[in-house]
Structure 1
Amino acid sequence: MWAPDDVVSRAIYREPGQSYLTLYTMKKIRDDGGAHSALLINGSQRVMFDPAGSWSQDVMPERNDVLFGVSPRLERYYVSFHARVTFYVIGQKVPVSDDVAERALQMALVAGPVPKANCTRVTSGLLGQLPGFDVIDRTWLPNKLADDFAKLPDVETREYRENDADDKSIAAAQIRDALSSEQ
């Protein structure tokens, strides 16, 4: 996917205040097994690096696994899409300098498109190159990445659970309808 420049420019969202990164880990409820990793970057703009992600929508333009214009409302929809009766989501937020956030953004912009099953390998590789993130080892395992991320100073962790049907297409349709009615 490669959204045109004008579409990306119109979608850019900036959140004021401290720059930060939020690692999202999607986990299976039955055994806590990690299933997917994604990285929200809040710096000069707010994007979601969703390597090999499956969420399809029409509001946030995409370029090679980077979703642009991620307002807090759209972030909630992203999390809600992944949280359902069989999966829950862990969000780990850490404050970073503006320079670190910008470096993460630039690395995400050139990292994709990411092949299926490589989400955590690419996300951990990106994070491990950032200053202050030397505790992050490159891994294929979402839970290992989440455990490493938890070792960073000042990490805030939240858990998101929903009881939606296991069929992601139902959640996707509901979110698409909600987004359409809000425009």
Structure 2
Amino acid sequence: MLRRLLMILALPLLAACAADNIYDPMEEVQRRAFAADDAPKLTLMTAISNRSGAGGHSALMVSGSQRVIFDPAGTWHHPTVPERGDVLFGITPTMLDFYIDYHARPTYHMVIQDIIVSPEMAERALSLVQAHGPASKATCGQSVSGILRELGFSSVRRAWFPERIMRDFGKVPGVTERKVFDDTVDEHSPSRPGVARVADDGLVFDS
């Protein structure tokens, strides 16, 4: 009963972000495709409040025959990064830095968790995120945790809240973790000091 009440109370905050229905041309996707040189891997990226420890957004980067970011209900865009159904293509090292910098700010940091996977799992992950389609508003956690479970990470519970998914994924054998803090607000930040803004998944960034 308490859990249900907490969910009801959270919905007004979570409901503020609408799903995008963006499908850039496949020709642009193919032209911008980027493959990393390192081993196939999955990367869970979570924006965490420096004040409360609550999660503001969850995204999954897949590196296989190409590197993409599954960014359900996200708001990050770049003119050289085509998007189709919440999947961002052409994730070069520079674009990845831009993506992380967008989310890391004085009030939020990014937790980046990597796990090396087989080429077969990486390709399955690429297929799953592209088949998912645009996520409904406030469902980044549900979308990302659902993909992880479909890939066989059964210890990752289906969850609404990004920090819960992060904790579950962190317990998977082989996962490594790093944190990115950034106290600056620059042109890549979605807001300026003192300006409250609805975050990627409907929570409030007040950096």
CA distance in 1: counterparts of 2:26 and 2:33, whole angstroms: 11
Match of 2:183 among 163, 168, 175: 163
Structure with the greater alpha carbon radius of gyration: 2
CA distance in 2: counterparts of 1:104 and 1:5, whole angstroms: 19
Using the TM superposition, name which of 36-45 and 110-119 deviates more.
Answer: 110-119
Match of 1:64 among 85, 89, 93: 85
Shift of residue 5, structure 1, vs aligned partner: 1.4
CA distance in 1: counterparts of 2:184 and 2:23, whole angstroms: 31
Q: Where do residues 1-183 of structure 1 align in structure 2 (5 Å cutoff)? A: 1-131=22-152, 133-165=153-185, 168-169=190-191
User: Which runs of 4 or more aligned residues in structure 1 lie more than 3 Å from their structure 2 counterparts after TM superposition?
Assistant: none
CA distance in 1: counterparts of 2:38 and 2:56, whole angstroms: 31
User: What SS class does the counterpart of residue 168 from structure 1 fall into?
Assistant: coil
Q: Please tell me the residue identity of whatever aligns with 2:190.
A: K
TM-score after normalising by structure 2: 0.78
User: What SS class does the counterpart of residue 57 from structure 1 fall into?
Assistant: coil
Q: Please tell me the residue identity of whatever aligns with 2:146.
A: G
Structure with greater helix share of residues: 1
TM-score after normalising by structure 1: 0.88
**RMSD, aligned CA:** 1.4
CA distance in 1: counterparts of 2:172 and 2:159, whole angstroms: 17
CA distance in 2: counterparts of 1:65 and 1:120, whole angstroms: 13
| 1:78-103 superposed Cα distances (whole Å, 9 cap, x missing partner) | 00000001111000000001111111
Q: Please tell me the residue identity of whatever aligns with 1:101.
A: A
Count of aligned pairs between the two proteins: 169
| 1:11-60 superposed Cα distances (whole Å, 9 cap, x missing partner) | 00011231000000001111111110000100111000000001122111
List gaps (5 residues or longer) in structure 2.
1-21, 193-207
User: What SS class does the counterpart of residue 18 from structure 1 fall into?
Assistant: coil
CA distance in 2: counterparts of 1:129 and 1:115, whole angstroms: 19
User: What SS class does the counterpart of residue 58 from structure 2 fall into?
Assistant: strand
Shift of residue 169, structure 1, vs aligned partner: 4.2
